[in-house]
Structure 1
Amino acid sequence: MNHAVHPASEADIRAAPPADHGQTHPIGVYLKVWAYLFVLSTLSYLVDFFQVQGVARWVLIITFMLLKAGLILAIFMHMAWERMALVYAILVPPLALGTLVFLMWIEADYTFWTRIIFLGGAG
């Protein structure tokens, strides 16, 4: 008995739904995010233009930087449409590393002031 597979007819090929090769998003989403990035960059430059100084300067610049990075990551790197497991796999390690660096910074500051207080500035 011959069990050869017969090629699909032309009618079968036309009736089959097109293969899903990935997600497509309207261009408006990308243009809107581009506009947001432009506004955030402008605000960041205005911090320098108005010569904001001290802690306020760094808080503003880092806030604008993180917002821009978040938009780029979410939209242009398509993280907004990925599975949550992949999002966690990509975002959790840098967040954990940042937390550890912050804790080391606190510890270093504590060690520095402990040396100043108890050892009289001897390093």
Structure 2
Amino acid sequence: MAQGEGQQHAIGIYLRVWFLLFVLSAFSYLVDVVGFEGYLKWFLITLFMLLKAGLIVSVFMHLVWERLALICAVLVPPGVLLFLMLLMAIEGQHVLSSRLAVVLP
């Protein structure tokens, strides 16, 4: 009985991804060191976090080498949830601003 051969990837790919993860982590720490405040700070931290998560999922979980159907099955539901969260945040901001306009004329 023949043993199944697994897919082998070059170690260089993993080393480059580790280096990119290190650089992105350094940038996210630099956001605090430089002293960004408000929405810019949270946007940059979230951007670096999503980039790191994308690298981890695509390379270390081997999603980049999978079929498109599997990629869509894994990535589309969280994307839809993020879109719905964005819509709820926009609606919540609208409701808050309309209530404050009525209470504070």
2:89 to 105, 113, 121: 105
Task: Flag the structure with higher helix content.
Answer: 2
Letter in 1 for 2:82: G
Inter-partner Cα distance in structure 1 for 2:64 and 2:21: 16
Name the residue aligned to 2:50. 66
Paired AA for residue 79 in structure 1 = L
Inter-partner Cα distance in structure 2 for 1:101 and 1:46: 28
Report the alpha carbon displacement of residue 19 of structure 1 after superposing the two structures with TM: 5.0
2:40 alignment partner in structure 1: 56
CA distance in 2, matches of 1:112, 1:42: 36
1:57 & 1:117 partners in 2: Cα distance? 28
1:33 equivalent to 2:33? Answer no
Whose RCO is larger (CA < 8 A, sep 6+)? 2
Unmatched 5+ stretches in structure 1: 1-12
Task: Say whether residues 1:116 and 2:97 are aligned partners.
Answer: no
Paired with 1:115 and 1:91, the residues of 2 have a C-alpha distance of: 36
**Runs of 4+ more than 6 Å apart:** none
Percent identical residues: 50
Q: What SS does the aligned partner of 2:36 have?
A: coil
| Residue 59 (structure 1) shift | 1.7
Q: CA deviation at 1:41?
A: 0.4
TM-score (ref. length: structure 1): 0.77
Q: How many residues align?
A: 104
Unaligned stretches of 5+ residues in structure 2: none
The equivalences for 1:8-27 within 5 A come to 20-27=4-11
| Counterpart amino acid of residue 113 in structure 1 | S
Bigger Rg, structure 1 or 2: 1
